[in-house]
Structure 1
C-alpha cells in the first residue's frame, strides 16, 4: 500500500522538508532489463511505464562535463527558477501547493519552493507525483493532496517541454478529473525551459541545457522514473517508483540544489522583472514544436512521433534510456551539446547536422527488430 507517506524521508535522498513523494515503494522488485530488450518490448506494445531502464552510471569524464555545465549555467538555472517562481507566486500567492511531476520535475519543484521561501518567507507544501503518457495522472495522489490542503490551489511543475506530450497529457487528465469528481484543476504546467512553446508559464523558451537533465536518479534524489504496472500497483495505490540506495555514493542531488539555490540572491531583481514582462505580454502556447517533429518524422521515415524526441533534455533521455538511431544537432558549436556528443560517441550513434529546427538538438529512436 501507500507506505511512503509514513516513511517518505527514507525513500529519497532529499530532505523531507524539500519534498514529499506520493509514490508506492517498489524498491524490492526487479523491473530493469537491458535497454535493447526493453526497447523491443515497448515497440511490440508493452507500455513504457511497466518496466524501468537500467540506471546509466556515467564514467568520470562525463561527470566532469556535468560539473562544468553546472558551474557554467548555475546562474541561468537560478534565474529561470526565479522567473517561474515569481509568476507562480504572483498568480496564486501563499495559497499554492507545488506539485512536481516525478522525476524531472522534482528538483525544479524543490528549487521553486526554496526560491519562494527565501524571497517571500512563505513555505509552500511540495509534493512529487506521477503522470504517465497515455495513462494519465495519479488520481489517488491528487485526492490525497486535496484532502490535505482543501483550500489551496495546485500548481503542476516539470523540468522542460519537448514536443508537449506531458502538457497534453496533463490537460486530458485534469479534464478527466473534473468529469469524475467535479473538481477543477489548473492544468497550466510550469517549466524552466519551454522550447516547444507548450505552456505560458516558463522561465525561458530557449532550448538550453538544464544540468539535471544530464543524469538520472543520481540528480533526482535516487528515485527511479515512475511505474504503473498492474501486477504491482492496485487501484488504491499511488503509482510506484524505486529508491536506488545502492547509488548513494554517486548522488549529487542535494549538491545540485544547493549550488543553484546559492545564486538566488544575485538574480532576484532580474527574475521579477522578467516574470512581469512575461505576465504583461501574455503569449498562449501554440505547440509550434510539434509541427517540426511531424516534419522530422516524415523526413526520416519514422512511423510515429513517439520516436522523435526534441530538445536537449529529451535527447539526453534518448541516449541514457532508449536505443538511439540518430542525433540531430542544430549548431555543432553549441555549448549545450557537449554531454550529448560524449554520450553519442560512447554509444556509437550517428550525429547529423540539422540547422532547420528551433530546438538545439533532437534524438531519433531506432526501430528495433523483434527477437526470434
Structure 2
C-alpha cells in the first residue's frame, strides 16, 4: 500500500493528501474509440485510462473566460457548503474528497474553513468507482487516524446519482463489517440531480475546474482499479502527470477562488437549509432514455461537468442543451463543434446540458 507520507500530485500537502497508489509507470492509455469499445463490451472504465486531453490555446482561453464569469458564483457556493458543514460537524471534521473532481472543491472548502472559522482540518482525496465502490482501504486508514464521526465526503457536482448510490452502498458495507459509524452524507457545490445531502446550489452551473482534466486537479489522472497493478491491500491507483507541470493550472485555480473569500458580500446563502433528495435528475434521465431509445442508462451523462467529460474522453453521439445561449455552455458548444457532434435543443430538463455516448453493439459502459 502506498504510504500517505509520500508526495503525490502538484498540490501542497497542506491542502490535500492523496490516498492513492502511484502507478505512473503503468501503460494504461488507449485511443478513445478503442477504450469506448472495450468499456461497452465487458471491460470496466477503471481498468484503463483515456489519453490525457491537451487543450488548444483557444480552449484554454475559454477556460479563463469561464473562470472570469463564474468565479464569484463558485466562491459563494464554496462558502455556502462550508458553512453548512461547519454547522453540522463543528471543528471535529475531516474532509474526504472523491477523486478527482472533488479534490479542488475539498481544498477550497478547507481553505474557507480556515479563513472563516480559523480551523485547520485534515483533507484527503480518495477513489470511488462506479460499479466497484469506494476505496475501503483508504477509508479504513482515515477512520483509524481520525475516527468515524468526523468524516465528511465531498464532490464537485451530481449527475444522475450513480456515485451517490455507490457511496451509500460502500459506506453501509464498511460500517457493517467494521462496526463503525461513518456518515454517507455527501456535500457538493452543484446538485442538479437533487441527490446530495449538502449543496451550494441545485442550479446546473459551470464549475470552471470541470473544463479541464489533470491540469486543474493536481496533475492526477482518473483513478484506476486494475488488479494487474492494484493488490487487495493497496489504495486504488492513479498517475501523476509530472510531464504536464508547465501546463498546470491547479494551484492558480485554487488561489484565484480563495482570494475572493474576504470580498464575498455579507448576505449568507448558507443560512437556508437543504431540501431533501428528490432524485429528480434521475427521473429526467429515464424520460430521455425512453425518448431516444437508449438501452443502457450509463450512456447518458447529465450536467455541465459530465457532458464536458463525454466530449473530452468518450465517443459522443449527440449533446442535448437546454438553451444554447447559456454562458455555461460556451466550452460545450466549442468542443462539440471541434468534434463534429450534433447538438439538439431540449428545453424540458433540469440540467443545462446532457451528453449522450454513442452505443457500440448495445454494450455496457
TM-score norm. by structure 1 comes to 0.95
**Residue 301 of structure 2 is aligned to residue 304 of structure 1:** no
Match of 1:276 in 2: 271
CA distance in 1, matches of 2:209, 2:12: 18
Structure 1 CA distance, aligned partners of 2:345 and 2:126?
A: 37
Segments of structure 2 that go 5 or more residues without pairing to the other structure are: none
DSSP-derived class of the 1:191 partner: strand
| Counterpart Cα distance in 1 of 2:242 and 2:299 | 31
Matches within 5 A, 1:337-348: 337-348=329-340
Q: Tell me which residue corresponds to 1:124.
A: 121
Give distance in 2, aligned partners of 1:6 and 1:176: 27
Separation in structure 1 between the aligned mates of residue 201 and residue 69 of structure 2, nearest angstrom: 17
Partner of 2:65: 68
Distance 2:333 2:80 in 1: 30
Q: Counterpart of 2:356 in 1: which secondary structure?
A: strand
Size of the alignment, in residue pairs?
A: 362
Q: Does 1:96 align with 2:88?
A: no
Q: Deviations over 1:55-75 (max 9, x none)?
A: 111100000000011011111
Partner of 2:316: 324
Name the structure 2 match of 1:2: 2
Deviations 1:171-225 (A, max 9, x none): 1111111121111211111000000101130000000000000000000000001
How much does 1:150 deviate?
A: 2.5
Structure 1 vs Structure 2 CA RMSD? 1.1
Tell me the equivalent position of 1:335. Answer: 327
* Higher helix proportion (structure 1 or 2): 1
1:239 aligns with 2:236: yes
List runs of 5+ in structure 1 lacking aligned partners.
Answer: none
| Counterpart-to-counterpart distance in 2, 1:369 and 1:34 | 18
Shift of 1:151: 6.9
Structure 1 position 268, deviation (Å)? 6.1
Task: Supply the distance in 2 between the matched residues of 1:179 and 1:144 (Cα, whole angstroms).
Answer: 17
Normalization by structure 2: what TM-score?
A: 0.97
2:138 corresponds to:
141
What SS does the aligned partner of 2:156 have? coil
In structure 1, the partner of 2:112 is 115
The Cα of 1:298 is off from its aligned counterpart by 1.1
State which of 285, 296, 306 in structure 1 corresponds to 2:277: 285
